Amino acid sequence: MIDRPTRRAVLAGAACGLASHGIAAPGQPFGPAGRPSWSGDGLQAAAARTGLTFGTEVPGFRFARDPAYRQAVAREAGLLVCGTEMKMEVVLAEPGRTDFSQGDALVRFARGNGQRLRGHTLVWHEALPPWVPPLLARATPAQAEDFLRRWIETVAGRYRGQIASWDVVNEVLAQDGTRPDGLRESPWLAALGPGYVDLAFRILHQTDPMAAPCWNEDAVEQGVPWMEARRTRVLKRLEGMLARGVPIRRFGLQSHLTSTLPIDQGQLRRFLAEIGGMGLGIEITEFDIDDRAFPADIAVRDRMVADFARRYLDVAVAEPALLNVVSWDIYDPDTWLNDHPYRKRPDGLAQRALPLDAQFRRKPLWHTMKAVFSEAPDHAARRAKLRG
Ligand code: XIL
């Protein structure tokens, strides 16, 4: 008896805070669109030749305090994405209050520089503020749906018209596929049932019809049987979503590649072609290379990272449905891999996962990416069509 009013009150309070926040009109308050900022010799200029966009994740703390960093992302990238600043843990850190300050700053910057934006990420089992999982656990399905709707309307509504594609769901597949539907156990699944994935896509599409709704998934890139099994599950689910009329337009491969596993170019090529064949766009959304299997020596390691990247990117850029190549930051010192318990190098050295080094110098990985983009087949017409 005590539980019911409490639950209702908490949900109403959270929803109230969400609903009371003003939704910005398109173009406001982010300023006028500026001229493209990227340099003629950078990664974006090379990618654009074939209709691709090169982008990078930007961590808010670095963006806010380092002008050299801001110059680098303006010079190299045609697309930006917030690492954490549009996640629920930042936007809704406390119930009933929204914080868009850091997300707004990046949107304003990208807009001023003529850069596209991705949105990351609406529904994920991680990055939930601590007050949300217990709230979802207590909610009825109708209350949980209301909360999901208000959350998506709040964040995607604020950036309506500014975001080229939104990661509607992130990492929804279980590692091993123990459930017949392949979904991972999560607070969203528990509260809403397996229909939460389709539902989130429909809500985003209603909220911002200009943003391409994207399913972003990890561990679908490399040549090992368990990833091949995940690729099969992705294709099956995509077919189902399209058959059900779910408004999905893109599939994102996170592409946190690891040097400990092989790349099977044939398997990768077939997977991308299957997705492209369904009429969907494809994005590489979080590209980086965990170099832990490579030796400590920097020159050797950088070469091996670059060669490894080439095996992956050569196949990807040949697929006409590939639209964006987004690296998960561009600047080695900030890679998340160094903070991750299973991804940091066992020898304690910093990962050399990204295109620019600690002095913002272009590394062998940068030169390889530039070469891959420069040599890629020209699919500009197909890509323009898929962007819509
Ligand atoms: C990471 C950020 O880079 C970190 O700063 C944060 O502490 C944790 O999340 N897959 C994703 C991203 O989809 O959101 C993650 O980003 C990296 C793995």
> How long is the chain?
388
Q: Torsions phi, psi of 369, nearest 5?
A: -60, -40
Does residue 327 have its Cβ closer than 6 Å to ligand 1? Answer: no
Does residue 56 have its Cβ closer than 6 Å to ligand 1? Answer: no
Q: Tell me if 134 is assigned to some domain.
A: yes
Does residue 63 have its Cβ closer than 6 Å to ligand 1? Answer: no
Measured CA to CA, the distance from residue 375 to residue 233 in angstroms comes to: 32
Taking the CB of residue 141, how many other CB atoms lie within 10 A of it?
A: 12
Q: Tell me if 6 is assigned to some domain.
A: no
Look at residue 223 in the predicted model and tell me its pLDDT: 98
The secondary structure of residue 363, as a DSSP letter, is P
Does residue 285 have its Cβ closer than 6 Å to ligand 1? Answer: no
The count of structural domains within the chain is: 1
184 neighbors 171 (Cβ within 8 angstroms): yes
Token pair of 119 as six digits: 């949105």
Nearest CA to ligand 1 atom 15: 83
Report the amino acid identity of residue 56: T
Q: Tell me if 21 is assigned to some domain.
A: no
pTM for the predicted model, two decimal places: 0.95
Does residue 336 have its Cβ closer than 6 Å to ligand 1? Answer: yes
Token pair of 134 as six digits: 């217990």
Best mutation site among 82, 123, 286, 327 for ligand 1 pocket (most ligand atoms within 8 Å of CB): 286
3-state secondary structure of 7: helix
Question: 123: burial class by Cβ within 10 Å (0-12, 13-18, 19+)?
Answer: buried
Nearest CA to ligand 1 atom 4: 336
319 neighbors 271 (Cβ within 8 angstroms): no
With vertex at residue 291, the alpha carbon angle to CA 288 and CA 294, rounded to the nearest 5 degrees, is 155
Does residue 54 have its Cβ closer than 6 Å to ligand 1? Answer: no
Does residue 324 have its Cβ closer than 6 Å to ligand 1? Answer: no
Look at residue 49 in the predicted model and tell me its pLDDT: 97
Q: Tell me if 176 is assigned to some domain.
A: yes
Cα(327) to centroid(ligand 1), Å: 12
Q: How far is CA 107 from the centre of its chain?
A: 15
245 neighbors 296 (Cβ within 8 angstroms): no
Q: Tell me if 141 is assigned to some domain.
A: yes
Measured CA to CA, the distance from residue 187 to residue 183 in angstroms comes to: 12
Cα(183) to centroid(ligand 1), Å: 20
Nearest CA to ligand 1 atom 13: 170
Measured CA to CA, the distance from residue 55 to residue 44 in angstroms comes to: 7
Cα(336) to centroid(ligand 1), Å: 7
Q: How many CA atoms does the CB half-sphere of 182 hold within 13 Å?
A: 18
Measured CA to CA, the distance from residue 323 to residue 387 in angstroms comes to: 8
Q: List the beta strands (DSSP E) in the chain.
A: 53-58, 79-82, 116-119, 165-170, 212-217, 250-253, 256-258, 281-290, 322-327
Q: Which of 152, 65, 80, 147 is nearest to 112 (CA)?
A: 80
Does residue 83 have its Cβ closer than 6 Å to ligand 1? Answer: yes
Look at residue 9 in the predicted model and tell me its pLDDT: 43
The secondary structure of residue 337, as a DSSP letter, is G
Cα(2) to centroid(ligand 1), Å: 38
- For the chain, the C-alpha Rg in angstroms (whole number) is 20
Cα(296) to centroid(ligand 1), Å: 25
The residue segments making up the domain with residue 229 are 29-387
Q: Tell me if 135 is assigned to some domain.
A: yes
Token pair of 261 as six digits: 């596993």
Best mutation site among 258, 336, 337, 351 for ligand 1 pocket (most ligand atoms within 8 Å of CB): 336
Q: Tell me if 4 is assigned to some domain.
A: no
Taking the CB of residue 133, how many other CB atoms lie within 10 A of it?
A: 16
What CATH number is associated with residue 253?
A: 3.20.20.80
pLDDT by 10-residue block (mean), the chain, 388 residues: 38 46 56 95 98 98 97 98 98 96 97 98 98 98 98 98 98 90 97 98 98 98 97 98 98 98 98 98 99 98 98 98 98 97 96 98 98 98 97
Best mutation site among 166, 328, 338, 339 for ligand 1 pocket (most ligand atoms within 8 Å of CB): 328
Token pair of 378 as six digits: 């020209």
Look at residue 22 in the predicted model and tell me its pLDDT: 44
Atom of ligand 1 at shortest range from CA of 124? 13
| HEC per residue, 56-69 | EEECHHHHHHCHHH
The secondary structure of residue 152, as a DSSP letter, is H
Atom of ligand 1 at shortest range from CA of 120? 14
Q: Tell me if 133 is assigned to some domain.
A: yes
